[in-house]
Chain A
Amino acid sequence: MNVMMLLEMANAAFPERTAFTDGSNGDSFTYAELFEAAGHRAASVRASGASRLVKLDVSNLATPLSLFTSAWAGVPFVPLNYRLTDAEIEALLKRVTPAYLVTQVDRVATLGAVAEVNAVACADFLDAGQHTQAVEGEWSMDPEEVAVLLFTSGTTGEPKAAVLRHKHLVSYILSSVEFASAGEEDASLVCVPPYHIAGIAAVMSSVYSGRHVIQLPNFTAEAWVQLAREHKVTTAFVVPTMLARIVELLEAQGNATADMPHLNSLAYGGGKMPLSVIEKAMKFFPNTDFSNAYGLTETSSTICVLGPDEHRETVTSTDPLIRRRLVSVGRALPGVEIEIRDDEGKLLEAGGRGEIYVRGEQVSGEYEGRGAVTDADGWFPTRDAGSIDEEGYLFLEGRADDVIVRGGENLSPGEIEDVMLTHPDIADVAVVGIPDEQWGEAVAAAVVAKPGASIDIDALKTMINEQLRSSRVPAVISVWPELPYNETGKLLRRVVKAELSQS
């Protein structure tokens, strides 16, 4: 079992098809070219003596090439976040030496000076003339070998390196993608960063399905819309903040629909999608299939999907239970089991709020230097809070660590946020706990008004109190122009908390 096998099969079945196109310059690889290039780069990596292949740059053709090269060479692939500071990057790089580093040209000299780092500019890595030696022999088929080390975007403490073995990634692809299922005309627009698990999953699933990938290195709504139209894109994945910006742009352009008749499917995930955004998006893309995907780095990407039929059903239904599912992340993929447990680890019944546990072939739950945090039966505690309804639909409630403890009572920010988001003037909301002398923690909220709307705080509190117990009504509600998100759409709750704690 090896990630290279996915490319080997694509190369055998449709070698002449275009595999990847860099949307910023139009350069591309066919599957045959990518396969051959990976073999030659694997020889260079082996000759360097490196034990890791590190990629530090925006999405480009070196992204898929370095992933498959590392699999062939038998060294873990380590994509690093190019948005980190120089000091942060250097600290992470030192944890993965001896390293073969593929990076931006202006970083080669400085990072190449780090001990045991062989730095190569992306253009030189892609230049076939500099890699003329073919690799000897096949790649390893040992399913236990490490395929990817991915530093998680943990909001506290030193980043942890999640360990994904070949068996996890290949299992994920085999259980979620049908080989060669894409047509010649299928094209996928990939705008998630290459150091994100969704970026790695996009490379593998596109290769296995035979779908042409158009890479968008630096997301802007304008570039996304332009590339989607130009390449007649049929599939795309976005994080909620990206979809919000796309919808804003389409609104500003004043058209009734997005004018992208080729876009068959649009998937989103990576954070909580505001109901107002998804409802508007479904109007702009009336013939597009929407899917909501939920997954973690430690689970090799997607574990739960809310599919297109469910999206349509929730919009047309009058049953509040079914309508509510539009804000769920759907049901577990085949081969994935999900449970909700309470603080003592006891299994909860349908509807109970607690921590999400997951188990399956694609679930790693392992960190470098710390081993696996899965329990004896293979269950991984995600540290995400949530609940599952009678039909198996999973609802996210934020991080388990975000639970507010007020006077000994555990309050879920997600529950309060869901109610506040039903207010007609509220576009976005974040609920956090702030220090309180009397209660230990008090509930506080930052809200964003819809364009042109103003928010009556007292009326809002009354509305919340009509639907939830008084302990859940925020003591502090502050109106903000926008909420802080990171570049992959994750709400920076600690920033909200720090700000509201000072007010």
Chain B
Amino acid sequence: MAELKTGGRFKSAVCTAEIMVVSAPAGDVDLTCGGVAMLDSASDAATGGEIHPDHAVGVAIGKRYINEEETLEVLCVKNGDGGLALAGQLLLQKDTKKLPKTD
């Protein structure tokens, strides 16, 4: 369990994935990658171990992931083989609207 703050960065304990929090519900939440709790990117805690087979959907750099209630949104900043989940529920890839280029 960890408190997620907008702009905070987390890494997977079981694969190469890293994410940045875009928006998050208040208080401690259970954010996992590959079925294992994610670590603060500055953490020295040991990594390794196995990706849970139900959480092996992978994440792709630049994609946004949200929970069904859309209270949590994260941006993938490094690819990984694990899938993201909030309290055991896999996050969904967010559709993005195409905007005209202006700069």
Contacts and interface: CB of A to CB of B under 8 A. Distances in A.
A291 B75 contact: no
Interface string A53-93: 00000000000000000000000000000000000000000
Interface residues of A, number: 41
Contacts of A179: 61-63
Given A1-B20, A5-B20, A9-B77, A142 B7 contact: yes
Interface centre among A12, A138, A166, A201 (most CB of B within 10 A): A12
- Which size bracket describes the interface of B in this complex? 20 to 34
Contacts of A13: 61-62
B103 A141 contact: no
Contacts of B78: 12
Contact of A305 (B7, B41, B77, B102): B102
Nearest to B75: A174
A302 interface: yes
B8 to A, nearest CB: 7
A247 interface: no
Interface in A150-188: 166-167, 170, 174, 176-181, 188
Contacts of B96: 178
Given A12-B78, A174-B22, A237 B103 contact: yes
Contacts of B75: 174
A73 B101 CA distance: 30
Contacts of A209: 101
A305 B99 contact: yes
Interface in B36-59: 41
Given A1-B20, A179-B62, A307 B7 contact: no
B85 to A, nearest CB: 22
A176 B77 contact: no
A167 B7 contact: yes
B61 A12 contact: yes
A141 B9 contact: yes
Contact of B7 (A141, A269, A293, A333): A141
Contact of B102 (A5, A178, A293): A293
Nearest to B6: A143
A394 to B, nearest CB: 14
A202 interface: yes
Interface in A264-313: 265, 267, 269, 289, 291, 293, 301-302, 305, 307-308
A205 B41 CA distance: 25
A8 interface: yes
A320 to B, nearest CB: 24
B6 A265 contact: no
Contacts of A174: 22, 75
A237 B7 contact: no
A102 interface: no
A235 interface: yes
A355 B52 CA distance: 55
B100 A265 contact: yes
A293 B98 CA distance: 15
Interface centre among B6, B75, B96, B101 (most CB of A within 10 A): B101
Nearest to A309: B100
Given A8-B77, A9-B77, A141-B41, A1 B102 contact: no
A9 B61 contact: yes
Contacts of B62: 9, 13, 178-180
Interface in A2-41: 5, 8-9, 12-13
A181 B101 CA distance: 11
Nearest to B9: A141
A333 B100 CA distance: 10
Interface centre among B79, B100, B103 (most CB of A within 10 A): B103
A198 interface: yes
A334 interface: yes
Nearest to B79: A12
A202 B101 CA distance: 10
B1 to A, nearest CB: 20
Contacts of A265: 100-101
A143 B62 CA distance: 19
A302 B61 contact: no
28 contacts: A1-B6, A1-B7, A1-B20, A9-B62, A9-B77, A13-B61, A13-B62, A141-B7, A141-B8, A142-B7, A143-B6, A167-B7, A174-B22, A201-B103, A202-B103, A205-B101, A205-B103, A265-B100, A265-B101, A267-B102, A293-B102, A302-B103, A305-B99, A305-B102, A307-B100, A308-B100, A334-B97, A334-B99
Interface of A: 1, 5, 8-9, 12-13, 138, 141-143, 166-167, 170, 174, 176-181, 188, 198, 201-202, 205, 209, 235, 237, 265, 267, 269, 289, 291, 293, 301-302, 305, 307-308, 333-334
The 7 lowest CB-CB distance pairs between A and B, nearest first, are A179-B62, A1-B7, A143-B7, A293-B102, A291-B100, A201-B103, A307-B100
Given A180-B62, A334-B99, 5 more contacts: A141-B8, A142-B7, A178-B98, A205-B101, A307-B100
